[in-house]
């Protein structure tokens, strides 16, 4: 008889583009999210947890970066008898579900509705290094408030949040722009076509990557990219490109103007004025943003903001939508300045466009400005950790009525990486006290010890593997990063004592100490069984102080 | 020209069987999970968050309740060029992913590996009232420990967890059984067939629903169920059924024996002994479990446990596996008693079988024993909130090597419902202080106020809707359950004051007060603008004390 073939063993692998998170990775994220939730709550935002699964119909097609292949969602069709079940999908962000939730529950929800949400989202994209198909987002949105005060609030909340989780002032900047201003500029150059406008938007968004020259080429005929491939341009004329670039480069233009004014003031002998104009000029420069002379000069910050807004005003000509956009930015700035959020924390920056097609007004982006070394060992700024804006059309898809909405999404993993980079994460890597097993028939004694330790609030466990090899038990304690091991063999039991090993000190002595130090500072202590808790606590406290 | 047809609007609905969670529902669950994580951490367990998506191959077919239609997972096939992409699915529990994680990372993980996990799982089942297709689980497992000390630890941890989240001792019981004992009983009646054994298991599991008579019928020829349908039985003979029922009913049998002994002792004039036997008899009875005479009588609890184990020993005859099972239960009991977990908290109960096929040794179940009223207004015990057991074969699927494992899963939503039922959830329904908008041009002033309040740690917001109708603003504050509203109109601004309304007191006065009380206890106060924070804080503290 032929041998029956066994089914092959399943592979123990996460699907491509997915990963597992262990121990401190999980708890550190949870703690950061809890701090963020605290700020959101203080601002009056309520928690919302919608289901991970939505109908494809409800999700709609608002995925960013629509020009990338393999874009999309994880979707499947519901089983039903006639094969016409609904198509369901995993949510790809937290905004599309919010629009659905608000449309569904709008009669029960307060208006405006401020909500925050935290959780995983899924993207059916080609995975790459450090690029996962499941990741966390953390959003806050206000639905039903047309006032730009709602946008300003999102910006100040974002600023507070970054400081709350441990990014010091000066190490971040929240940039604000307004789609309407850009639309105004495009109106002045006679660009009405929506497709063309979207292309311009996507091109400007590459400013950080390809620089001014690159954007100029891409807005015009096109350019050779680094790989040698020719990228077709949007096809604007030079006369059309110029105002767009002046818009994107407003930052540099205003700095230039202020430098000119300052040197004129100096010529006229108005030294104080010249110095203030100089401070205004550097109000948003990363290298000076946290110097007290600038951060505390309210007048300089006001000058900066006013000049940027005036510059934009010039660019939008007679455009009504452009005028409205500048007015909104002016209101946002006033509100923020009145609450103490100057341009050293939140600044107007016309180079921010945000890729998503659905934004209709103000857009925001939070960037961390300290430097890190990238994979290739080059210094670069950490970059963006959050973004958002106003989207007045998302709920309308469901209800037919326009519902104003604005919000922000924090890139949880990037922010966590930044905090680790800055050493702002309290380490939770400390393992439990390990009670070793010298005599497997006395498990009852060891369990009683560990119960005592736990009842005293000390993280502790009995070694539950095969106790035969004592060396394995200490190796295990080492792998667990245990601070202390407890040993009670037959002799100890008979004498009513236990051995307590300070594993942290032990490791340090083993590494560095001379023989004299070794003798002077023993890392193992014999104490009466009744002193177990007190001695363990003493050692743990000593380690915490060290 | 024909009018272009517009696409119909998408429906704003969660998919069938899914739901949204709002505000306090989210934060209360998060707080409960945090407390549970605290206990797990103290026991030396490390957090693990695996991806929500697994390959269908890795998940395997371990779903419970295999006899139900529409069982299963949400699954889809990966896109690739030749249509042979992997099948992926949402996890249906947290145990199958743990087996995959351990097999994948076993060289980097400590052994034994203690881990906890919390998060949603998905079941592609027919939804019903209160039955959702996405729900939370919260698991703790020890992988790589063959010792029953690991099972005992899971039980004591479960007991600690229930008390930590707010279930008082006496209101819960952790029941422990051992599959091996049941297998021993089945061996003695000559039942070797795996399918038949599984049917017996599923039948016993219905004990709570159909009672002893029902189980007897279902183990034999079958029975008419409540709807009038005839359910086929397993087909055992009466001689086979008897030992199975004695096993399931061990509880009652042991109580009967103890009652008999007690009355004999009384006849012999041994009053103290008779009373202790009576206390032993009631050691696990819900109505006496929390009475001090019984809960503190260690000897009575030992007697109970010993008698149950002796009873089981009788039932398994010469079965080797049965003998092993009883020995394991004896060890677990000893370990637990030594740590102070008597049968009033954790008891041996042979009626616990747990539906899942994959358990191989000890099984546990935590039940809440206080009474609630069900949908039909009938009193009943709250019932099961957690369960688990030992499963030594799950990792073997991947590696070919048997890896012992044991763990527990808490039904998060049921436990949360229990805590609400017991009034053990601190309410978080308090809304923010609402700063009303009397003059929309002075938004800057209102935002500054709200910033002051937030900086003082007070949850606060400005009304961001259309401010024209002041009544709408107060209605909004009401819907938000705001404790306090702040009002600053033109007159107040001119006089440097603000109006502060105590909305909680206001609502109470409006409901109950006589005109005199109304006059004596005003709910609106005019204070200098500079006293805003102090007065709001005073009112909030007063409300908290009330």
Give the 3-state secondary structure percentages of chain A, helix then strand then coil, rounded to 5: 45, 20, 35
Q: Do B10 and A86 touch (CB under 8 A)?
A: no
B27 CB neighbours in chain A (<8 A) are 37, 47
3-state secondary structure B450-519: HHHHHHCCCCEEECCCCCCCHHHHHHHHHHCCCCEEEECCHHHHHHCEEEEEEHHHHHHHHHHCCHHHHH
Q: Do B49 and A466 touch (CB under 8 A)?
A: no
Alpha carbon separation from B485 to B59, B155, B383, B437, B536 (Å, rounded): 54, 50, 44, 11, 9
Chain A residue with minimal CA distance to B444?
A335
Q: What is the pLDDT of residue A227?
A: 82
Q: In Å, how far is B362's CA from the nearest CA of chain A?
A: 16
Quick: pLDDT tens for B225-239: 878 888 899 999 999
Chain B residue with minimal CA distance to A337?
B444
Give the A:B interface size as CB pairs under 8 Å: 275
B445 CB neighbours in chain A (<8 A) are 338
B480 CB neighbours in chain A (<8 A) are 44, 110
A459 CB neighbours in chain B (<8 A) are 41-44
Q: How many residues does chain A have?
A: 546
A11 near B55, Cβ under 8 Å? yes
CATH 3.40.50.800 domain locations along chain B:
433-545
- Domain A169-367 is in which class? alpha beta
Quick: pLDDT tens for B510-543: 777 666 665 666 788 999 999 999 999 999 998 8
B210 near B351, Cβ under 8 Å? no
Residues B98, B395: Cα–Cα separation, whole Å? 9
Closest CA to A370 of A421, A324, A318: A421
Residues A46, B27: Cα–Cα separation, whole Å? 9
Measure CB to CB from residue B41 to each of A150, A459, A479 and give the nearest one: A459
Q: In Å, how far is A100's CA from the nearest CA of chain B?
A: 5
ipTM: 0.88
Closest CA to B411 of B161, B207, B203: B161
A455 CB neighbours in chain B (<8 A) are none
Residues A37, A29: Cα–Cα separation, whole Å? 12
Q: What is the pLDDT of residue A238?
A: 92
A152 CB neighbours in chain B (<8 A) are 447
Chain B residue with minimal CA distance to A19?
B51
> Mean pLDDT, to the nearest integer, of B254-281?
93
Q: Do A153 and B10 touch (CB under 8 A)?
A: no
The model's confidence at residue B6, banded by pLDDT at 50, 70 and 90, is low
Beta strands B87-90 and A405-411 are unpaired
Q: How far is CA A22 from the centre of its chain?
A: 19
Measure CB to CB from residue A120 to each of B25, B52, B100 and give the nearest one: B52
Alpha carbon separation from A499 to A27, A256, A535, A541 (Å, rounded): 32, 72, 10, 18
Q: What is the pLDDT of residue B380?
A: 79
Give the right CATH number for A15-146+392-429 from 3.30.930.10, 3.30.365.10, 3.40.50.11270, 3.40.50.2300.
3.30.930.10
Q: In Å, how far is B476's CA from the nearest CA of chain A?
A: 6
Selected for mutation to probe chain A from B24, B40, B46 (highest A CB count within 10 Å) is B46
Q: In Å, how far is A347's CA from the nearest CA of chain B?
A: 17
Higher pLDDT pick, A282 / B46: B46
Q: Do B15 and A88 touch (CB under 8 A)?
A: yes
A508-518 residues labelled b (16+ CB within 10 A) or e (exposed): ebeeeeeeeee
Chain A residue with minimal CA distance to B90?
A90
Q: How far is CA B106 from the centre of its chain?
A: 29
Tokens 């987002």 belong to residue: A137
Sheet holding B113-122, edge to edge: A21-22, B46-49, B113-122, B134-143, B405-411, B379-390, B362-373, B172-178, B346-348
> Mean pLDDT, to the nearest integer, of B422-435?
81
Q: Do B464 and A47 touch (CB under 8 A)?
A: no
Selected for mutation to probe chain B from A8, A25, A59, A149 (highest B CB count within 10 Å) is A149
Measure CB to CB from residue A19 to each of B12, B25, B51 and give the nearest one: B51
Q: Quick one: tokens of B171?
A: 């209101």
Residues A121, A251: Cα–Cα separation, whole Å? 35
B19 CB neighbours in chain A (<8 A) are 51
Measure CB to CB from residue A22 to each of B26, B46, B149 and give the nearest one: B46
Measure CB to CB from residue B12 to each of A100, A334, A465 and give the nearest one: A100
Q: What is the pLDDT of residue B12?
A: 95
Q: Do B338 and A444 touch (CB under 8 A)?
A: yes
A399 CB neighbours in chain B (<8 A) are 9, 12
Q: What is the pLDDT of residue A65?
A: 46
Half-sphere exposure of A499 (CA within 13 A, CB side): 16
Quick: pLDDT tens for B437-462: 999 899 999 999 999 999 999 999 99
Residues A394, A376: Cα–Cα separation, whole Å? 41
Q: Do A12 and B146 touch (CB under 8 A)?
A: no
CATH of domain B16-146+392-429: 3.30.930.10
B325 near B180, Cβ under 8 Å? yes
Selected for mutation to probe chain A from B147, B155, B463 (highest A CB count within 10 Å) is B147
Q: Do B47 and A70 touch (CB under 8 A)?
A: no
The model's confidence at residue B318, banded by pLDDT at 50, 70 and 90, is very high
Selected for mutation to probe chain A from B6, B19, B21, B44 (highest A CB count within 10 Å) is B44
Listed range (A398-407, A528-537, B3-12, B497-506) with the worst mean pLDDT: B3-12
B42 CB neighbours in chain A (<8 A) are 454, 457-460
A34 near B2, Cβ under 8 Å? no
Q: Do A144 and B465 touch (CB under 8 A)?
A: yes
Higher pLDDT pick, B128 / A528: A528
Q: In Å, how far is B108's CA from the nearest CA of chain A?
A: 9
Closest CA to B446 of B457, B456, B434: B434
Measure CB to CB from residue A49 to each of B21, B52, B465 and give the nearest one: B21
Q: What is the pLDDT of residue A284?
A: 81
> Mean pLDDT, to the nearest integer, of B3-12?
74
Indicate the average pLDDT of chain B: 88
B447 near B195, Cβ under 8 Å? no
Give the 3-state secondary structure percentages of chain B, helix then strand then coil, rounded to 5: 45, 20, 35
**pLDDT digits (tens), chain A, 546 positions:** 445 556 688 999 999 999 999 999 999 999 999 999 999 999 999 999 999 999 988 988 655 444 443 358 998 888 776 667 888 999 999 999 999 999 999 999 999 999 999 999 999 888 888 789 999 999 999 999 999 999 999 999 999 999 999 999 889 999 999 999 989 999 999 988 888 888 888 888 888 788 888 999 999 999 988 788 888 999 999 999 999 998 888 888 899 999 999 999 999 999 999 999 999 998 887 777 777 888 788 888 889 999 999 999 999 989 999 999 999 999 999 999 888 898 889 999 888 877 666 788 999 999 998 888 777 778 878 889 999 999 988 899 999 999 999 999 999 999 999 999 888 776 656 799 999 999 989 999 999 999 999 999 999 999 999 999 999 999 999 999 999 999 999 999 999 999 999 998 888 777 776 666 656 667 889 999 999 999 999 999 988 877
Residues B288, B304: Cα–Cα separation, whole Å? 14
| Residue numbering of the annotated binding site of B for L-histidine | 93-95, 123, 137, 141, 354, 358-359
Residues A325, A313: Cα–Cα separation, whole Å? 9
A175 near A347, Cβ under 8 Å? yes
Residue B32: pLDDT over 90: yes
* Residues whose CB falls within 8 Å of the CB of residue A23, separated by 6 or more in sequence, listed in order: A428, A429, B46, B47, B48
A114 CB neighbours in chain B (<8 A) are 461
Q: What architecture is the B433-545 domain classified under in CATH?
A: 3-Layer(aba) Sandwich (3.40)
Q: Quick one: tokens of B250?
A: 């061990």
Residues A326, A322: Cα–Cα separation, whole Å? 6
Selected for mutation to probe chain A from B32, B51, B143, B540 (highest A CB count within 10 Å) is B51
Q: Do A457 and B76 touch (CB under 8 A)?
A: no
Residue B81: pLDDT over 70: no
Q: Do B11 and A76 touch (CB under 8 A)?
A: no
Q: What is the pLDDT of residue B128?
A: 81
Measure CB to CB from residue A20 to each of B9, B42, B101 and give the nearest one: B101
Quick: pLDDT tens for B56-77: 889 886 554 444 433 589 988 8
Closest CA to B189 of B246, B249, B239, B247: B239
Q: Tell me the sheet residues that pair with B131.
A: B128
Q: Do A42 and B88 touch (CB under 8 A)?
A: no
> Mean pLDDT, to the nearest integer, of B24-39?
94
Q: What is the pLDDT of residue B311?
A: 93
Count CB neighbours of A128 within 10 A. 8
Measure CB to CB from residue A51 to each of B14, B30, B335 and give the nearest one: B14
B280 near B265, Cβ under 8 Å? no
Q: What is the pLDDT of residue A81?
A: 67
Residues A53, A130: Cα–Cα separation, whole Å? 25
Residues B44, A453: Cα–Cα separation, whole Å? 11
* Residues whose CB falls within 8 Å of the CB of residue B336, separated by 6 or more in sequence, listed in order: B152, B155, B156, B342, B346
Beta strands B362-373 and B87-90 are unpaired
Q: Do A49 and B26 touch (CB under 8 A)?
A: yes
Measure CB to CB from residue B144 to each of A79, A149, A465 and give the nearest one: A465
* Residues whose CB falls within 8 Å of the CB of residue B5, separated by 6 or more in sequence, listed in order: none
Q: What is the pLDDT of residue A357?
A: 67
């Amino acid at each position: 008889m032929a041998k029956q073939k066994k089914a092959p063993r399943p592979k123990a692998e996460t699907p491509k583009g997915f990963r597992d998170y262990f121990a401190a990775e999980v708890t550190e994220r949870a703690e950061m999210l809890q701090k963020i939730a605290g700020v959101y709550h203080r601002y009056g935002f309520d928690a919302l947890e919608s289901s991970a699964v939505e109908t494809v119909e409800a999700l709609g097609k608002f995925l960013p970066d629509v020009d990338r292949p393999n874009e999309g969602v994880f979707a499947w069709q519901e089983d039903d008898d006639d094969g016409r079940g609904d198509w369901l999908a995993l949510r790809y962000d937290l905004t599309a579900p919010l629009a659905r939730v608000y449309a569904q529950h709008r009669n029960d929800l307060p208006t405006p509705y401020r909500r925050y949400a935290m959780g995983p989202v899924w993207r059916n994209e080609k995975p790459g290094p450090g690029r996962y198909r499941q990741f966390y987002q953390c959003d806050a949105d206000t639905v039903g408030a047309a006032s730009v005060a709602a946008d300003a609030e999102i910006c100040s909340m974002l600023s507070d949040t970054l400081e709350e989780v441990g990014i010091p002032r000066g190490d971040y900047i929240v940039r604000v722009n307004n789609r309407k201003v850009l639309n105004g500029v495009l109106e002045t150059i006679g660009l009405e076509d929506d497709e063309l406008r979207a292309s311009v938007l996507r091109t400007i968004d590459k400013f950080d990557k390809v620089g001014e020259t690159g954007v100029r080429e891409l807005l015009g005929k096109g350019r050779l990219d680094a790989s040698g491939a020719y990228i077709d341009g949007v096809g604007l004329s030079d006369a059309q490109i110029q105002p767009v670039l002046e818009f994107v480069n407003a930052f540099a233009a205003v700095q230039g103007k202020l430098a000119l004014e300052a040197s004129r003031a100096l010529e006229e002998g108005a030294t104080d004025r010249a110095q203030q104009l100089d401070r205004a000029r550097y109000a948003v420069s990363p290298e000076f943003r946290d110097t007290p002379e600038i951060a505390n000069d309210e007048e300089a910050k006001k000058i900066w903001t006013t000049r940027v807004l005036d510059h934009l005003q010039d660019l939008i000509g007679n455009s009504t939508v452009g005028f409205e956009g500048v007015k909104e930015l002016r209101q946002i700035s006033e509100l923020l300045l009145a609450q103490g959020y100057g341009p050293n924390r939140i600044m107007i920056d016309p180079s921010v466009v945000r890729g998503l097609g659905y934004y209709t007004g103000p857009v925001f982006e939070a960037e961390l400005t300290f430097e890190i070394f990238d994979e290739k060992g080059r210094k670069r700024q950490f970059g963006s950790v959050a973004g958002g804006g106003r989207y007045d059309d998302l709920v309308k898809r469901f209800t037919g009525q326009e519902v104003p909405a604005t919000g922000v999404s924090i890139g949880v993993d990037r922010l966590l990486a930044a905090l680790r980079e800055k050493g702002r994460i309290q380490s939770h890597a400390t393992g439990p006290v390990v009670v070793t097993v010298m005599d497997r028939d006395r498990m009852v004694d060891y369990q009683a010890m560990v119960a005592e330790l736990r009842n005293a609030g000390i993280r502790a466990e009995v070694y539950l593997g095969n106790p035969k090899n004592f060396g394995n038990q200490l190796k295990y304690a080492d792998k667990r990063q245990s601070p202390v091991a407890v040993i009670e063999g037959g002799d100890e039991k008979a004498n009513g004592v236990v051995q307590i090993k300070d594993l942290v000190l032990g490791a340090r002595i083993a590494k560095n100490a001379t023989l004299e130090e070794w003798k002077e500072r023993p890392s193992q202590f014999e104490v009466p069984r009744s002193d177990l808790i007190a001695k363990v606590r003493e050692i743990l406290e000593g380690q915490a102080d060290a």
